[in-house]
């Protein structure tokens, strides 16, 4: 499952991408389910699946199994955030596509 190259995450393009979720359907353990995610989250999920050499449906199934009572779309977003936070902690770099933010002022 691959998509077009993502536009730059600057200005109104980032806002437009963040405000229009895309719904995709999966079959997980024999049941059909849909997930609505913004394009940036789909791109990240596809990237993570490729890194792990897993089909996207298998990765979503694993997230579904571990999600508890939360919604699947929210669980996928949290999984992606956690993945990139852990990767950032290990490399010291900001993951591709993430914007570096200045830490809050203490004064």
- pLDDT-based confidence at residue 107 (cuts at 50, 70, 90): low
State residue 87's pLDDT score.
87
- Architecture of 16-91 per CATH? Orthogonal Bundle (1.10)
The secondary element (H helix, E strand) that includes residue 46 is helix 39-51
Per-residue pLDDT reduced to its tens digit, 9-60: 555 555 555 578 999 999 998 999 999 999 999 999 999 999 999 999 999 9
State residue 94's pLDDT score.
52
């Amino acid at each position: 499952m691959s998509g077009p190259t993502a536009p730059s995450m600057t200005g109104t393009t980032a806002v437009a991408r963040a405000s229009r979720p895309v719904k995709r359907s999966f079959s997980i353990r024999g049941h059909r389910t849909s997930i609505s995610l913004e394009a940036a989250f789909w791109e990240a999920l596809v990237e993570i699946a490729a890194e792990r050499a897993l089909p996207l449906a298998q990765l979503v199934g694993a997230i579904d199994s571990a999600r508890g009572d939360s919604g699947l779309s929210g669980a996928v977003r949290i999984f992606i955030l956690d993945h990139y936070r852990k990767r950032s902690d290990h490399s010291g770099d900001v993951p591709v596509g993430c914007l570096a933010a200045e830490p809050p002022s203490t004064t």
